[in-house]
Amino acid sequence: MSQFKVDHGGGVSGHDALMGPQIRNHDMQKAAEQFEAIFLRNMLKEMRKTNEIFDSKDNPFNSDSVRMMQGFYDDQLCNTLAQQHGIGIAAMIVKQLSGHHSKG
């Protein structure tokens, strides 16, 4: 039988309970930042799609290689924004999951 048990009450037990709160908070912050980066990336992708209707075939910036480089740029931009507290989604997720929200 395993020494670690699942806490069905939503808490942590076993190995996770032995981890320091700083480690769990750091992991939660990183996961929230990654979620925010994914959200921003999808939002930017949809924004770029709306601009495609204005691109002509003669436009030198309308090529697969330019779109690929824009994709790389967008990925880096979204990751950087999320790490620098971007639009605040990561902070709201951490606040909600850590239980530090005010009940009003």
Locate the domains of the chain by residue range.
Answer: 33-98
Q: How far apart are CA 41 and CA 37, in angstroms?
A: 6
- Buried-exposed string 70-101: b where 16+ CB fall within 10 A, e elsewhere: eeeebeebbbebbeeebeebbeebbeeeeeee
pLDDT value for 31: 93
Q: What residue has token string 């709306």?
A: 50
Q: What is the pTM of this model?
A: 0.66
pLDDT tens string for the chain (104 positions)?
445 444 455 555 555 555 666 778 889 999 999 999 999 999 999 998 887 777 777 777 778 888 899 999 999 999 999 999 889 999 999 999 888 656 55
